[in-house]
């Protein structure tokens, strides 16, 4: 029997965070899948969120050198068409950090997300995306990087404009700019 009501972990974590931090918003769950997982409303403002969730792969990554100063690594399998046709105002990537019992959120407009992913991976239908978040609160998309680059990210010495997602890391102020 199909459950009458389900919400996945990422949606729950985003909704509960918004409920605590942004009391002016009402949070709504759509009754059918339209590409918007959560709808935030307040007078004269509606914001649609598409939520993606990942566990933290930092502790299970094969290379211990990648773990130095790394807070979290999230893995997301994305569909280019879903991003391109998205009705959501923002995509929110949620990574749970078990040891700290905390979450990191990457909030990005789907047009900006697609532009960045295309510049990193080229135009592909399916995109595997790894977000590596450092203890210094830097965030990079690391899928396809060489070992030396991943170690440089861990050490805080890596420089790359198109892979840098720090602007979107835990930046909830973006929702107030709509």
Over the stretch 105-147, which tens digit does the pLDDT of each residue have? 999 999 999 999 999 999 999 999 999 999 999 999 999 999 8
Check: CB of residue 110 under 8 Å from CB of residue 88: yes
pLDDT over 50 (residue 163): yes
Quote the tokens at residue 155.
């050490």
Q: Residue 108 falls within a domain, yes or no? A: yes
Q: How far apart are the C-alpha atoms of 3 and 163, rounded to whole Å? A: 39
Q: Residue 167 falls within a domain, yes or no? A: yes
pTM of the complete model beyond 0.75: yes
Q: Residue 3 falls within a domain, yes or no? A: no
Check: CB of residue 11 under 8 Å from CB of residue 89: no
Q: Residue 44 falls within a domain, yes or no? A: yes
CATH of residue 120's domain is: 3.40.1350
Q: Residue 2 falls within a domain, yes or no? A: no
Q: Residue 35 falls within a domain, yes or no? A: yes
pLDDT over 70 (residue 5): no
Check: CB of residue 23 under 8 Å from CB of residue 13: no
pLDDT reported for residue 175: 87
Of 52, 55, 63, whose CA–CA distance to 153 is shortest? 63
pLDDT over 60 (residue 4): no
Q: Residue 1 falls within a domain, yes or no? A: no
Q: Residue 97 falls within a domain, yes or no? A: yes
Main-chain dihedrals φ then ψ at residue 11, nearest 5 degrees: -65, -45
- Write the Ramachandran bin of 28: left for phi over 0, alpha for psi from -120 to 50, otherwise beta: beta
Domain that holds residue 50: 9-177
Alpha helix positions (H), the chain? 9-21, 80-84, 110-121, 147-155
Tell me: the pLDDT tens digits for 38-90?
A: 999 998 889 999 999 998 888 777 677 777 888 999 999 999 999 999 999 99
pLDDT reported for residue 161: 76
Total number of domains in the chain: 1
How much is the average pLDDT of 28-33? 84
pLDDT reported for residue 79: 96
């Amino acid at each position: 029997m199909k459950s009458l009501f389900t919400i996945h972990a990422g949606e729950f974590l985003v909704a509960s965070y918004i409920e605590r931090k942004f009391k002016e918003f009402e949070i709504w769950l759509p009754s059918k899948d339209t590409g918007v997982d959560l709808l935030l409303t307040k007078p004269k403002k509606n914001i649609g969120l598409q939520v993606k969730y990942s566990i933290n792969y930092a502790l299970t990554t094969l290379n211990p050198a990648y773990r130095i100063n790394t807070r979290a690594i999230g893995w997301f399998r994305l569909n280019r068409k879903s991003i391109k046709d998205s009705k959501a105002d923002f995509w929110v990537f949620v990574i749970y950090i078990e040891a700290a019992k905390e979450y990191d959120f990457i909030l990005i407009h789907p047009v900006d997300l697609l532009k960045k992913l295309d510049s990193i991976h080229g135009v592909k239908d399916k995109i595997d995306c790894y977000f590596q978040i450092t203890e210094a609160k830097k965030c990079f998309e690391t899928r396809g990087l060489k070992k030396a680059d991943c170690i440089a990210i861990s050490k805080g010495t890596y420089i790359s404009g198109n892979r840098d997602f720090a602007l979107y890391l835990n930046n909830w102020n973006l929702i107030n700019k709509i």
